[in-house]
């Protein structure tokens, strides 16, 4: 695995993951723990709701996005550590059986003003099912800089 430092990132680079399948049991297990609402817990109860059938919690979808991002070829040195999300949208619900993958594009690269050993990259990550976006996340990640050796 290549560890990437701030100097290795440039605007427009894209990174990809493999696929992860989400099934009904994963959807209902996550929902029981974190988002216990009928449209995330039970297929029959979900039919009469805004989702018209069982759908993953948006926070489950976000968590799956993180899993795929960790396994993608983004691989910043020091790990994937976000300082904050600027936007997160869910254009379509995730359904049982969906196979998901992420693609991330670097939007900005900037050194830290206060910390000479680190910087930030702004990344747009899209979670796709059959080429259609189910989640679009724009967030800022802390990335290490290569520390120069003292002469």
Nearest Cα neighbor of 78 from 110, 107, 114, 121 is 121
Interface residue with a copy of itself, options 24, 38, 105, 133 (CB under 8 A): 38
* Residue 64 region by backbone torsions, left for phi larger than 0, else alpha for psi between -120 and 50, else beta: alpha
CB of 27 to a copy of itself, least distance (A): 13
Binding to a copy of itself (CB under 8 A) within 79-98 occurs at 79-90
36 is an interface residue for a copy of itself by CB under 8 A: yes
What are the residues whose beta carbons fall under 8 Å from the beta carbon of 114, sequence distance 6 or more? none
- Using CB under 8 A as the binding rule, whether residue 99 contacts a copy of itself is answered as no
Q: Is 37 in the site for a copy of itself (CB under 8 A)?
A: yes
Distance CA 27, CA 23 (A): 6
Applying CB under 8 A, among 64, 100, 127, 134 the residue interacting with a copy of itself is 64
Tokens of 119: 């910087």
Name the site residues for a copy of itself (rule: CB under 8 A).
30, 33-39, 49-50, 57-60, 62-64, 66-67, 70, 78-90, 142
């Amino acid at each position: 695995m290549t560890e990437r430092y701030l100097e290795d990132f440039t605007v427009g680079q894209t990174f990809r993951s493999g696929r992860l399948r989400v099934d009904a049991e994963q959807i209902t297990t996550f929902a029981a723990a974190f988002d216990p609402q009928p449209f995330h817990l039970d297929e029959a109860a979900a039919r009469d709701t805004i989702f018209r059938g069982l759908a993953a919690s948006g926070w489950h979808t976000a968590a799956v996005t993180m899993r795929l991002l960790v396994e993608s070829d983004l691989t910043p040195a020091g790990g994937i550590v976000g300082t904050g999300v600027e936007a997160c949208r869910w254009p379509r619900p995730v359904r049982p059986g969906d196979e998901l993958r992420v693609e991330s594009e670097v939007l900005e690269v900037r050194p830290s003003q206060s910390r000479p050993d680190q910087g930030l990259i702004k990344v747009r990550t899209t979670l796709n099912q059959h080429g259609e976006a189910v989640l679009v996340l724009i967030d800022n990640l802390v990335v290490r800089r290569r520390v120069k050796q003292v002469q």
